[in-house]
Chain A
Amino acid sequence: MIGLPVVYGLAGLIYAAYAALSVRDGANPKRWRNGLFWGLFALSFLAGDRLGDFGNGLLVLALAAIAGLGKLGQGAPEGPTPAQKAESARLLGNKLFVPALAIPAVVLFGTLVLKPVVVGGHPLLDPKQATLISLALAAVLATGIALVLLRQPAMSPLQEGRRLMDTVGWAALLPQMLAALGAVFALAGVGKAVGDLVTTWIPMDAKLAAVAVYCLGMAGFTIVMGNAFAAFPVMTAGVALPFLIGKFHGDPAVICAIGMLSGFCGTLMTPLAANFNVVPARLLELKDRYGVIRAQIPTAAPMLLINMVLMYVLAFR
């Protein structure tokens, strides 16, 4: 069975290659810092299960210190000039889209065709991780297609991958660190404390007020936790079950579905949802770290209001 360990091994080897190439990059004045950062990241992927919990903890602290206390450098592997790229685009034409389209095609193939395949009584892909494994498979196959079809140098995937990875920089680590922070919050009972705060201090004797508290609470809680999944159990147990469903007899399906989407409005507004909001700003080389969030708020805020109206109208038919 192909499971996450295979994917982690592949990722670890690639990050190790980034580390080695970073150290050898004379054009980067911070080559040792970058090398150490990607090297430790590689270690986590290759040997994380053997480091022990405390060892992993020290590893995270080291990664955060390396990237947080001083800046990582930007690796600059040699590549074509803009004029050469334009010429290459003209020569290759629409062939360039073939590897790009191969990515979704392979993801689809993996999740629809390979996922149900059983070999010798075992599933070919770990069913719980089929999408992630398909994505890794797609990345590998599309790289192969690109190298052959577009006649690119054999080292270019690692060099260009390293260049993009350095563009993302510290933000590459943030989503995983926030996921770990969520686990510490859960351990410390932060969710319950926020839920108590909301339900203790806000009166909910009117239907409309309860709808507003639930939707705004889902969004607000998501903004401070970075994740609607963390907000849902707390706000639903605190507000939706006792008041909207218990007292006012609302339809639980409508209330929960729209409540979750109210949480998603919060996701669009918070830097704590790093992989959606902070990482793209780095990836697109925006000057404003919160540029993507600023572009989303004018859609997310009216949607929050619309969700409240929809819940009020649809849940109490």
Chain B
Amino acid sequence: MLVLLGVLVVVAGFAVGLNPLLVVVASALITGMLAGHSLPDVISAFGKAFNENRYVSVAWLILPVIGVLERAGLQERARGLIAGFRAVTLPRLLIGYLLFRQLTAALGLTSIAGQAQTVRPLVAPMAEAAAEGDGPPLTEDEVQEIKAVSAATDNIGLFFGEDIFLAIGSILLMVGFLDQNGITIEPLHLSVWAIPSAIAAFLVHGARLILFGRRLRGSRA
């Protein structure tokens, strides 16, 4: 039970806004030592796990090409493209992206879009242009909120799409875990039961996007 103090360190550290890297290090050292390991052993265990998880940081390889494209004017072009279509409103654009992300993730194509690849260079500038329309320039607060909602839409589309794919990590984890406990289930049965929640997520988040668009238009009228 004492090891739960390590979890408490994380929660408290994040809550008071300490630098997350230091919070994580403190929690790892405290948790490991409370579990009865020596300090050098905990440092070794933490280092070993850090080294084994390097693949997590491979995703940053995408930044150079995104940077070059932005240098050449991709964000401006994305804005210009949307500004040319007056029928593309903010809710329509983001609902379209939500659907695209859910459907492609359901086919297992989770890596074809993402925060660095699509949201920063394309979706967020397009959403800003769609919200601005022919009206006055957006305020800084409005830009901030549109960016945050664009990022949220990407995550929600991904999370409530990927579990419909048979061979995604979480499905394989469930199949393996149930198998160990003597319950045999086909991956297909698990992925089918992710569909009702996926539809609900599309409706809930889609409705929120429509309300968000309406609120923005109201405050800008």
Name A's B-contacting residues (CB within 8 A): 4, 7-8, 10-11, 14, 41, 44-45, 48-49, 51, 53-61, 63-65, 67-69, 79-80, 85-90, 92-94, 96-97, 99-100, 103-104, 107-108, 111, 129, 131-132, 134-136, 138-140, 142-143, 146-147, 150, 152, 156-161, 163-165, 168, 170-185, 187-190, 193-194, 196-197, 224-225, 228-229, 232-233, 236-237, 241, 245, 252-254, 256-258, 260-261, 264, 267-268, 271-272, 274-281, 283-289, 291-292, 294-296, 298-300, 302-303, 306-307, 310, 314
Contact = CB atoms under 8 A, between A and B. Distances in A.
Query: Do most interface residues of chain B lie in helix, strand or loop, or is the interface mixed?
Result: helix
Interface string B36-68: 010010111111111111111111111111111
20 contacts: A49-B51, A56-B50, A57-B43, A64-B21, A85-B73, A87-B73, A108-B112, A135-B58, A142-B65, A143-B65, A168-B60, A175-B57, A177-B21, A177-B25, A183-B45, A183-B49, A189-B35, A196-B1, A292-B148, A302-B204
Interface stretch (B85-93, B130-138, B192-200, B213-221): B192-200
A15 to B, nearest CB: 8
Query: Do most interface residues of chain A lie in helix, strand or loop, or is the interface mixed?
Result: helix
A299 B24 contact: no
Interface string B145-168: 101111110111001100100000
A238 to B, nearest CB: 12
Contact of B44 (A54, A69, A188): A54
B200 A14 contact: no
A279 B159 CA distance: 17
Interface of B: 1, 3-4, 6-7, 10-11, 14, 17, 19-22, 24-25, 27-28, 31-32, 34-35, 37, 40, 42-77, 80-81, 108-113, 115-117, 119-122, 124, 144-145, 147-152, 154-156, 159-160, 163, 169-170, 173-174, 177-178, 181, 183, 185, 189-194, 196-197, 200-201, 204-205, 208
